[in-house]
Structure 1
Amino acid sequence: MKMTSATMVDDEEELHQALADDIISANGKEVLDNIYQKVLRKKLTERSEASIQVSEFTVNAEDPQCINEDEEAAEEPSTQPEHPGDTLTKEETERIQREVAFEKTSKEVSRWQSVVLQNQKAEQLVFPLNQEPSGPKRMEKVVAGWKAQTPLEQELFSLLHMNKQPLHDPVLTPTEEACLRAMSLEEAKIRRRTPKSQSSTVLL
């Protein structure tokens, strides 16, 4: 007996139908539940687990803005410190400031260490220290600390030096001292006995 292709198809359909009837009649419901659970577990796994192979069916193209926001967030640098211990607390900052201020003050105080030791070794201290004597000052001390600055002052001082005029108000002028040296002993005695006004007229 020769079998055609149509007869083979009919036989396969009958076999498939008979197998399906047996499954449903025996444990059909249990088998279908198991298949459904496996399919559901597979779908959940595809959604939650990361994989190198990405299926195009799992990509959601309805909201492309979300993808752009994720890319921008990845490009922006993070403002949070990489190491949490890098940030200093308020107490640590104040402690560092106190240490710096202490070192600066110690350097300033160490400059007076020699003065303190000198005062400790002194037998007696009279305060205020380094007090200037009261009363009028001599012209020599006043002029010694003063210098000619303006052109007029410099010119006046140069004229005084050229004419040998006194700068510190001495008793005798340089000219009088030179004349006194040229005098004889007797003339010098007479010069000293007479008043200064009369001696000046005698010299002239």
Structure 2
Amino acid sequence: MNAAIGAIIENLDQIRLVFSKTETIFSKDTKNTGDSKEVSISEFLESFFPTTYTVKKGKIYSLDSDSQEIDCVILHSIHPRLFTPKREVILAEGVYAAIEIKPDIKTLTNKSEFHRGLKQIQSVKRLQRKLPTLHTEGKVPESRHRIPSVIFSKEARHINDTIIYIEEQINKKGSICVSGSYPNSSESKDCKAACPRFLML
């Protein structure tokens, strides 16, 4: 094992602790509990990105629209420090990736946290931006201009169930492109319980 892998493992240990079951006495303190999860993921990301990249929380603005509020927005080094007296503004052209944090996305209904996360990510995917590219073979695919987006969760259903649900929503609501990375069926139950889930959209 090299130092980079060791650092990832140690950071994941901290994330598992933060995402573990909340003590009953603190069950109503949902704001601090939620904030701690977002902070732990932000710090994890910042520890592996160059120092010129930053992680923020907020809406993402394009020239003519904006997203819903996103938990972790990774800003590229080219993103300006754009402040007003009331807020920090995040511009779509300077966003490297968007990550929405949902501790538990096992429930797959239109009122679930997973569905809400999909709607938040969809609001990011709808943003229009045009990025400079070195792509020279024909027309640049439209997907190159969309913001890469992820739902992060500690608990999730099997990937097949999740994909079926997303496909159902595509048929009802419109276009969402999805691929996923989950523990597969050959892994132990302990690994499935401990490993965070990433769903790339």
Report the TM-score, using the length of structure 1 for normalisation. Answer: 0.17
- Higher strand proportion (structure 1 or 2): 2
**Structure label with greater radius of gyration:** 1
